[in-house]
Structure 1
Amino acid sequence: MISRRRFITTALATLGSSSALANAPSYTPRPRMRGLNPLSPGRDGLEAILKNAGLSGEVVCAVADARNGQVLESADGDRGLPPASVAKVVTALYALDTLGAGHRFRTRLIATGPVQNGVLQGDLVLVGGGDPTLSTDGLADLAAGMKAAGLRQVSGRFLVWDGMLPFVKSIDPGQPDHVGYSPAVSGIALNFNRVHFEWKRAGGSWAVSMDARTQKYRPEVFTSKMAVVRRDLPVYTYQDKSGVDHWTVASGALGNGGARWLPVRNPALYAGDVFQTLARAHGIALPNPRQVARMPSGSLIAQHQSDPLPVLLKGMLKYSNNLMAEMIGMSASLQRDGRPGSLAASGRSMSSWATANLGMQSCRLVDHSGLGDQSRLSANDMLRALVLAHRDGALKPLLKRIYLQDAKGRPMKTHPVQIAAKTGTLNFVSGLGGFVTAEDGRELAFAIFSADLSARSRISRAERERPAGGRSWNRRAKRLQQALLARWGQVYGS
């Protein structure tokens, strides 16, 4: 388990001040290679691999011995590029160090008055506790707990408080309104602040539904509304009308039926809306939810706890969930420095922590998910974090297994080179960072960042979901990563 301040060690001093990373060469001559797989482009050397990648923009990379931080090979290792979702590795370390591995998030129901003969003489308050994994199932458990506590009626108001964390309308306002990976963020989130939109052909029109479904429940949602409009483009439009998300969808894009998750922009009222429905299923009629700016004091009626932090972090890294990263990261900033004024301020707090605790010399992060393309991280800075995390041992089990691929792009799951890493992808931005277990068992830490910021700057907001040339650029970036991993895993494991 990573303990608080454990990152401030003699190892950090060694990495930060010695030649291990401070004076990393731009190129290290490769040692004599033995027993290379025909897949490996390692015989061409690092410079040739980068030159032949056919990738526009910039590429920076570095690899080091994970045990002692000795840099084995590097190309522009001190140049900062957008890390994309590789930034979530820093967020995971930040949260573990600040909140602790035993941390759980709590969502509570509190009563501002006494419960007499089943009637609450006061207000019922749904209190968000920063849980990024709260689902409709969790709210259903809270509703059942409320009934078990003997509450049958509320004489006052039904309030929702989400002020534990600052409200963010969209993680990256530059993204299209309808993409589910950039929802609103606040102190409460339900179903990752997404609502399920489904449509089916019904005669000459379409039947549409908006719900907060899980495998167990499918409550209809009234705080998100959808209208089908006869047009071809734009596919979606969005307006916030008094706390209700109003969407329109182009009829020309619907076909005969389908479904997708849309982002929620008013998370407090969304959670209150769904809880009201679930309470009604237990025979408890609640007033319509109202958002409240200050958390009222009161007594606990019921609560729902998240899984322990490492379980959440493993899911965050595996599925690259942006909402989880932002809520967990801002919760860590709250614990460390007090409630951040904004997402960007929380990103600065994490950057300062990374500089002080991980030796990151040029870390500049504007959020915790990597979705904002103004963040900058260098390959050498990423190595510093990975080498320290490797010594503690808490990070690697949380990372996703990445496989080397054969000539047809198929994963080679029995290949002796094993990789545990975090990927990162934005339009014309690709990153990968983590650990390689070489053929002889040697543990390596690595980071690869690629970006064509000029091409990215030319993308309009409407094109962000599928820009021209984006997929082919990303494929080339992935092939470059594969080539570098094959080289490092075999050259430095021989």
Structure 2
Amino acid sequence: MPPTDPTGKPPADPPPPVGKAPRRRLPLVLAAVLVLVLVAVGLVVVRPGPVGRWLGETPTTPAATATGEPAPVAVLAAADPAAPPPTTDGLRAALEPLADDTALGGRVNMAVADALTGEMLFERGGGEGTVPASVTKLLTAVTVLTARGPGHRIPTRAVSGTQPGEVVLVGGGDPTLAADAKGFYPGAASLTDLADQVRTALAGAAPTSIVVDSSRYSGPVFGPGWDDDIPTGGYGGAITALMLDGARENPKAGPGWAARVAEPDMVAGRAFARLLGVPASTVRKGTAPPTPTETTGATEPAGGHAPGAELGVVYSPPLIRLVDIMISDSDNIVAEALARQVALARDQPASFAGAAAAMAEVVAELALPTNGLVLADGSGLSRKNLISPALLTELLALAASPNRPELAGIFGGLPVAGWSGTLRDRYGAAPGTAAGVGVVRAKTGTLTRVHAIAGVVTTADGRLLTFAVLTDDVPPNGMEPARAALDRIAAALAGCGCR
């Protein structure tokens, strides 16, 4: 089943104004970003040229391609830039009756835009801030890729402490860090590698204690507006600058629900101590000493290293991979870590409040509409978040723009209707949704009485649209009917020319 949110509740998917953004043209290269292909060795997401470099992929040589593999087979048709766009009247006739479905409650806001021109084609409460749930992650993705860049990697460092044999483990905010090669996230940095570097740097001197420094983050570890059961419900957790495997108790747990540890930074510190042969009883919280300079005259307590001297460093996968994980798995812990990277890039405190302020700042810098925008976290678990459908549709159009190729990575992780992610088991079974199978690509969002979907869809005529539908007044216990009603709206866009 796709990821769902807190136990006992409908899943959390799995929570000054500027002018409208200028019209943007969608490049044909987006077709490559949006096409998923199957090859003999597995699933491949086709990405534009720069994306491969950000991911650290090496160019394929002619010799490497001469393996007899069959040519990739497209499973999503490319949009036709010459196709006619829908008309506002046509969209109104197709969507208004579906938006009035009582399963969606009394507050349904939506927007539909032409991805090629950026023109807003239809809106119903399009500028109204609405609780977005996990659709917030689209905003987190665009702001972190803007602020940090797709290739940025988050460091985890070990430095010399102030006491003989003391090693300080300094968290930089990497939520994917693993104890060893068997961690939850593929390609994650490992404490085993870091411990090896420390032993080499100490040149035989035995470490005696571990200090855990997670001071990179500040403020509360749980978000404002989170439901009471989220910290222990398996979809949220304590957000600390140092953690292993997204704070999972068991790195072998699948995506979505997983028991989380109460103190992720101390769990990581104790794992590091084991790797260095240091008793767990010596692990304590603290802060790293300042980086030494030639003029400090500091003593050298650990293997000839002055306090604060670097003993080793490991790096997270590039941010574009973390964005992929966040969107495709609706990973709330990764989302909060990425939001704090926006804060750090904009010299804000790496806290919930600092991240929210920094993300809003980047949205304004991108000339996206900020009317109705209120942010409290980066995952969408907070009910204090408000995002307008118009902002989401313009944000998706911006990510498709040839002028911002670094943002195109958000499309690679978008679930495909009836095939992957949180849309894998949706579309096709519910009446009126079959037309969306394979042609709707969208991020979903779910909290109790809150449901949302935002993404891209190709019409029956071949025109690519961006769309967002949000409702935060769904009747109690109405999760499944509300999801089906949302899917019928997206399927209607896919199944009509709406002219």
Q: Please, what TM-score do these two structures have when normalized by structure 2?
A: 0.69
Map 1:472-487 → 2, pairs under 5 A: 473-487=478-492
2:427 is matched with which residue? 405
1:188 is matched with which residue? 242
1:384 matched to 2:399? no
Give, in whole Å, the separation in 2 of the partners of 1:189 and 1:409: 44
1:30 is matched with which residue? 90
Deviations 1:74-118 (A, max 9, x none): 2111221111111111111111111011100111111247xxxxx
Unaligned runs of 5+ in 1: 1-9, 16-26, 32-41, 114-119, 197-212, 216-259, 456-468
1:58 matched to 2:97? no
Give, in whole Å, the separation in 2 of the partners of 1:293 and 1:46: 56
Contact 2:235 2:258 in 1 (8 A): no
1:359 matched to 2:362? no
Distance 1:373 1:383, change over 3 A: same
Deviations 1:401-428 (A, max 9, x none): 223722457996x967612211111111
Give, in whole Å, the separation in 2 of the partners of 1:51 and 1:155: 66
Contact 1:358 1:384 in 2 (8 A): no
**Displacement after TM superposition at 1:359 (Å):** 1.7
Distance 1:151 1:402, change over 3 A: farther
AA matched with 2:460: E
**Displacement after TM superposition at 1:396 (Å):** 1.8
1:444 matched to 2:465? yes
**Displacement after TM superposition at 1:193 (Å):** 1.6
Give, in whole Å, the separation in 2 of the partners of 1:278 and 1:439: 58
Give, in whole Å, the separation in 2 of the partners of 1:86 and 1:416: 20
**Displacement after TM superposition at 1:134 (Å):** 0.9
Map 1:242-261 → 2, pairs under 5 A: 261=258
Map 1:322-333 → 2, pairs under 5 A: 322-333=332-343
1:422 is matched with which residue? 443
Specify the SS of the correspondent of 1:405.
coil
**Displacement after TM superposition at 1:339 (Å):** 2.6
1:292 is matched with which residue? 286
CA RMSD in angstroms, aligned pairs only: 3.0
Contact 1:345 1:366 in 2 (8 A): no
2:314 is matched with which residue? 304
Distance 1:79 1:56, change over 3 A: same
Specify the SS of the correspondent of 1:262.
coil
2:41 is matched with which residue? none
Distance 1:89 1:128, change over 3 A: same
AA matched with 1:349: A
Specify the SS of the correspondent of 1:449.
strand
Residue of 472, 481, 494 corresponding to 1:489: 494
Specify the SS of the correspondent of 1:129.
coil
2:192 is matched with which residue? 140
**Displacement after TM superposition at 1:323 (Å):** 1.2
Contact 1:431 1:449 in 2 (8 A): yes
**Displacement after TM superposition at 1:438 (Å):** 2.2
Specify the SS of the correspondent of 1:63.
strand
Distance 1:193 1:296, change over 3 A: farther
> What is the count of residue pairs matched by the alignment?
376
Specify the SS of the correspondent of 1:434.
strand
Give, in whole Å, the separation in 2 of the partners of 1:48 and 1:106: 51
Distance 1:484 1:375, change over 3 A: same
Contact 2:417 2:437 in 1 (8 A): no
Give, in whole Å, the separation in 2 of the partners of 1:408 and 1:416: 11
Give, in whole Å, the separation in 2 of the partners of 1:214 and 1:143: 22
1:205 is matched with which residue? none
Specify the SS of the correspondent of 1:102.
coil
Give, in whole Å, the separation in 2 of the partners of 1:447 and 1:415: 15
Distance 1:154 1:175, change over 3 A: farther
Give, in whole Å, the separation in 1 of the partners of 2:20 and 2:107: 31
Higher-Rg structure is: 1
Q: Please, what TM-score do these two structures have when normalized by structure 1?
A: 0.69
Write 1 or 2 for the structure with the bigger share of strand. Answer: 1
Contact 1:11 1:388 in 2 (8 A): no
Unaligned runs of 5+ in 2: 1-18, 25-86, 181-189, 292-307, 419-425
**Displacement after TM superposition at 1:52 (Å):** 3.0
